[in-house]
Amino acid sequence: MKSLIIKNGIILTPFHDLGLGSILIEDGKIKAIEKGEIVVGGTEIIDACGNYISPGFIDLHTHGAGNHDFMDGTVEAYLGAAEMQAKHGTTYLLPTTLTSTNELLFETFELFRNAKSLNTKGSIMGGLHLEGPYFSYNQRGAQDPRYLRNPDPKEYLEILERGKGIISRWSIAPELPGALAFGAELTKRGIMISMAHTDATFEEAMEAYDYGFHHITHFYSCTAGITRRNTFRYAGIIEAGYYHDGITLEVIADGIHVPAPLMKLLYKLKGCERIMLVTDSMRAAGMGEGESILGSLKDGQKVIVEDGVAKLLDKTAFAGSVATADICVRTFHQQAEIPLIEAVRMMTYIPARELGIENCKGSIEIGKDADLIIFDKDIQVKKVFINGQLIHENK
C-alpha cells in the first residue's frame, strides 16, 4: 500500500485542535502527525486546503440510507446504505435491525456476512446492532408490535449462536421479565447493551446498570420520565440517565428528535464525555421528502418524510431520522452552541470507546487506523479515507 500525506489541514484529534498540520499514512495506519508539513520522498500528497481533518464519524445506530434498509433482504441494500453513509463522513457503522421474525433476522445475519466481504466503497460494517424484539409495548414507537416479547433464554441463546462473532450491540427494555439475566449473558460475551423502548423506573435502571446496561438508546425517544402510579410519582429512565455518571446517552442529533433546549440541557448535565451522537437513520437518509418505508421492503411500514424527519402515517410518532452523521455533528455544534471539537468527539471517539474499539478507531493518533475525513467550516464533507484509502470525494 502506497504512503500518503494529507497536508494543510486543521487537525482535530478530537481532543485537541492542533492547527494547520500534516498526517503521514503508511500501510493504512497513521505513521506521523506534525504541525506544518511532512516531507517524504515518493509519497502521494493530498492538500486539505485549510479545511478540517478529523477522525471518521462512527455511527452505532443506523437502519439504512440512500433508499436502502439493512432489513431489505439483499446484499445490495447493505452496500448501498454503507456507501451513502460514507459520502457523509461515516467510516464505521453498526447496521441496525428492527423487531422482526427470527427467520428474517437469521437471513439478515447471512446477508451481513456476505456484504462485509464485498464492501469496498462504503463505511466499515463493524457488527450488527439488534434493536429488539425485547421491548415495552407502551414504548414501542415505530417498532412492529406483532413481534414484541420478553427475553427467553431458549430463543436468545439460539440467536447468539447463529450470530456468533457479528453481534456487537443489543438494545432491550431492562424491566422485562428475564432481561437482567439476558444482560448478564450479553456482558459475559462482550456485547454492548443499551436500555431502549423502555418503561423502566429509576430503580430498575439503576439495577440494570449493575448487569451491564451502561447506555440508553435514543435518549428522549421511547424512554419514560416521571410517571404517576397509584397517585405516587416515580422517577424514570430519563432521570436515571442524567443522574448516573456511568451511563452514556445516545442522542439522535437532528434537532427534531431532541430539540435545541434539550441538547443544551444534555450537554450541561452530562458533558461531551457521556454523550454519543447517532443518526438512527432509515432508508430515506440522504434522499428527499415524500413517502418511504421503515424496515424491509417486504414487511416494513409505510412512513412519510416531511419537516426533516420520518413519521408514521398517522403522525403519532417519529419513524427514525433521515439524518446523516455530518448533519448530527453540525446540528449539535450549532444548536447546542458547543465547541466543534467536542461535537466531533461525540461522533468519533465516544462511540469508539463505548464499543471497545478505541485502540484502533475514533481518534487521530500514531498507530491507529487511518480512517479520516476532511470537511469545511460548515461541516460539509470533502474527502473520506478508510484505512488510508480515498473512498469518496465530494466535488
* Per-residue confidence band for 230, with pLDDT thresholds at 50, 70 and 90: confident
CATH 3.40.640.10 fits 4-54+366-393, yes or no: no
Asked whether 317 and 155 are in contact (CB, 8 A), the reply is no
Q: Given the C-alpha cell 422485562, which residue does it identify?
A: 176
Domain extents in the chain: 4-54+366-393, 57-355
Residues 96, 281: Cα–Cα separation, whole Å: 9
C-alpha cell at 122: 462504503
More confident residue, 323 or 42: 323
Residues 323, 278: Cα–Cα separation, whole Å: 9
Helix/strand/coil for 270: helix
CATH 3.60.20.10 fits 57-355, yes or no: no
Q: Tens digits of per-residue pLDDT, 115-162?
A: 999 999 999 999 999 999 999 888 887 788 888 999 999 999 999 999
Q: Tens digits of per-residue pLDDT, 109-119?
A: 999 999 999 99
Asked whether residue 233 carries a pLDDT value surpassing 80, the answer given is yes
Helix/strand/coil for 301: strand
Check residue 329 and give left, alpha or beta (phi > 0: left; psi -120 to 50: alpha): alpha
SS (HEC) of 164-219: CCCEEEEEECCCCCCHHHHHHHHHHCCCEEEECCECCEHHHHHHHHCCCEEEECCC
Mean pLDDT of the 81-102 span? 95
* Per-residue confidence band for 81, with pLDDT thresholds at 50, 70 and 90: very high
Mean pLDDT of the 228-252 span? 95
Exposure of 165 by Cβ count < 10 A (0-12 exposed, 13-18 middle, 19+ buried)? exposed
pLDDT, position 1: 66
Residue 56 DSSP symbol: P
pLDDT, position 332: 98
Report CA Rg, the chain.
20
Q: Do domains 4-54+366-393 and 57-355 have the same CATH topology?
A: no
pLDDT, position 328: 98
Longest dimension (CA), the chain: 75
Asked whether residue 32 carries a pLDDT value surpassing 70, the answer given is yes
Residues 50, 271: Cα–Cα separation, whole Å: 29
